[in-house]
Amino acid sequence: MLLGEDSGAQLAALLAAERTPGVIGAVLIGGFYDLGAIPEVSRDINPDVVARASPITRVAPQMPPLLVGHGGADTESPAEHARRYCTQIVQSGGRCQLLEVAGASHRSENWFPSQWAYKRAMVEWLSALAHGPVIAHRPRGGGVLKDILYSRSAQLRLDAFLPRVATPVPAVIVVHGGGWEAGDKVTYITPLFEPLARAGVAWFSIDYRLTPAFKNQDQLEDVRQAIRFVRAEHKRFNIDPARIVLVGESASGQLVTQVAAEDRSLAGVVSFYGVYDFAAMVTDASPRSLLVRLFRRTVLDDESRAEMRRYSPLYRAHQDMPPVLLVNGTGERLWAQAQAFAQRLTELGVRHEVIALEGAPHGMENWEGHPEWMVYKRRVVEWIQQVADGLTRDRTARGLQ
């Protein structure tokens, strides 16, 4: 089976049209099906090349079954293109099921929880195609473990990678971004999974409750609960409870640095392009403002500004915080927040470092394929190992190990 999204869906669709032996079906999420109808493509590329690269012109008899998932509000590749592509396949005698997600944008990682029903529909479609039931796999003794319940009250789960080693290892708790309202434990932050695993570090990627149903204080409590859970289960996971590092990005950069300001027992915190000062982000109390979505306040007054300060790491930071690593591209608006937060940490005397990626945009997923930016992976892993090893040496010197 093939599964592709965005440009990967276009490639999978072209491969499906070739009827490659052994390929029994394909799932296409947010694909490009008619490149000739996209002005920025058609005006710069030879029309013959565009036609050959457009799945809608390559539909062939006896193609394998396709499931086409597409955002109903996609402006990069309009849903109408996906509809016409599916219709053309059916008219040629093939099987194509369209799964249009109402109100969803182009990139599926930005789809909201209310739009996530497509995931179950996709699993059921793949299962039926494979002629077998969905089987939940829970490997033991290391490797990747899926959907571990860490908060019974909120029914929140995490995924984990556990190195197969004898001695306890450092642990990294990874918190995804998504504007506090989107994403989950397998979106946005996936580029970190491989370098952490290769370094022999255990990682735990968590879900947390999202706005508008929940407030920022609920999300912070979810991060705290994840830390408590991992610490309490340290023997089960074979990790060192004294060497836990928090990692967040974008919206969760605020969450992890805010929690780090209150949990001195953390080994360190890494924040990618985080939000550290809500006042710099909020100019009104419109329905989509952070003031309304995160704090349920409808008037931007002194009381609201005071609450935003309470939840802004820039004002919660103190000299006894654990070490901090800030990672940011210089080509995005949150770079100014990183600089201001770094200055504040300097004033407080907090041990910290800044990795500035020249010209890099927002989102580590956009750094892939750019060697000048992807050096962050090695540097982040080295920093995590450094702070973890420092704790080990310190405890050894004090006769605690």
234 token code pair: 């340290």
Residues ≥6 apart with Cβ < 8 Å to 235:
none
CA-to-CA separations, 362 to 50, 230, 272, in angstroms, rounded: 30, 29, 9
Cα–Cα distance for residue pair 103/114, rounded to 1 Å: 10
Question: Do both 266 and 216 map to the same domain?
Answer: yes
Cα–Cα distance for residue pair 186/175, rounded to 1 Å: 10
Question: Do both 82 and 191 map to the same domain?
Answer: no
Question: Do both 262 and 380 map to the same domain?
Answer: yes
Domain count, the chain: 2
Residues ≥6 apart with Cβ < 8 Å to 349:
319
Q: Which of 118, 128, 114 is nearest to 82 (CA)?
A: 118
CATH assignment at residue 55 = 3.40.50.1820
Cα–Cα distance for residue pair 233/41, rounded to 1 Å: 52
- Is 119 within a domain? yes
- Is 303 within a domain? no
pLDDT for 38: 84
CA distance from start to end of the chain: 50
Output the tens digit of pLDDT for each of the chain's 401 residues.
999 999 999 999 999 999 988 899 999 999 999 998 888 776 777 888 888 999 999 999 999 999 999 999 999 999 999 999 999 999 999 999 999 999 999 999 999 999 999 999 999 999 888 875 444 444 444 689 999 999 999 999 999 999 999 999 999 999 999 999 999 999 999 999 999 999 999 999 999 999 999 999 999 999 999 999 999 999 999 999 999 999 999 999 999 999 999 999 999 999 999 999 999 999 999 999 999 999 999 999 999 999 999 999 999 999 999 999 999 999 999 999 999 999 999 999 999 999 999 999 999 999 999 999 999 999 999 999 999 988 665 655 455 45
CA-to-CA separations, 110 to 74, 155, 166, 210, 273, in angstroms, rounded: 11, 22, 39, 13, 17
Residues recorded for the chain: 401
- Is 284 within a domain? no
| Alpha carbons within 13 A on the beta-carbon side of 43 | 3
Question: Do both 254 and 353 map to the same domain?
Answer: yes
pLDDT for 24: 92
**For residues 250 and 281, is the Cβ–Cβ distance under 8 A?**
no
Element (H, E) at 171: strand 169-175
pLDDT for 289: 95
Q: Which of 8, 18, 22, 13 is nearest to 66 (CA)?
A: 13
Amino acid type, 217 = Q
Question: Do both 92 and 149 map to the same domain?
Answer: no
pLDDT for 129: 87
Q: Which domain holds residue 113?
A: 2-129
Looking at 104, 129, 154, which one is the last position of a domain? 129
- Is 134 within a domain? no
Q: Which of 308, 341, 346 is nearest to 327 (CA)?
A: 341
Distance of CA 262 to the CA centre of its chain: 24
Cα–Cα distance for residue pair 274/9, rounded to 1 Å: 31
**For residues 129 and 65, is the Cβ–Cβ distance under 8 A?**
yes
**For residues 81 and 34, is the Cβ–Cβ distance under 8 A?**
yes
Q: Which of 294, 194, 196, 195 is nearest to 252 (CA)?
A: 294
